[in-house]
Amino acid sequence: MKYRTELITPEITQSLKEICVEIAKRYEIYFVEIGTDGDHVHFLIQSVPVFSSTRIAQTVKSITAREIFHRHPEVKEKLWRGQFWTSGYYMNTVGQYGNERMIQTYVRKQGKTYTQISRDQLTLFEGQE
């Protein structure tokens, strides 16, 4: 989040989940895990190799910011200059022999709210596992 402002509420988390489901439908970007805390979000994303890491980050950040501002106009008022995400991000890749389970566990344990999105079933869990 821009300025590490604590704006991620249960309502914002739910909207974020819905937006990510729509992104997955339109693009070949699948959200394996989403971990939210009051002031930041972690994504574990699976995508096709033709998309660069930069393109994935730009797509996710731009669409989620636009839609959060549309669904929750009060959020834009709380952010200076109306920017939802910081300009930077950290991204790492998990290959065939990488440790996806370790990263999945890390994302799952972020903050107070854990959101799991799978292709078969969409669920939202309150509290850490």
- Predicted confidence at residue 42, as pLDDT, reads 87
CB atoms within 10 A of CB 17: 18
Beta-bridge partners for 34: 43, 115
pTM over 0.75: no
Instruction: Give residue-wise pLDDT tens across range 28-45.
Output: 999 988 888 878 888 889
Q: What is the pLDDT of residues 53-107, one digit of tens each?
A: 899 999 999 999 999 999 998 888 877 667 888 888 888 777 665 577 777 777 7
Q: Which CATH superfamily is domain 2-126 in?
A: Transposase IS200-like (3.30.70.1290)
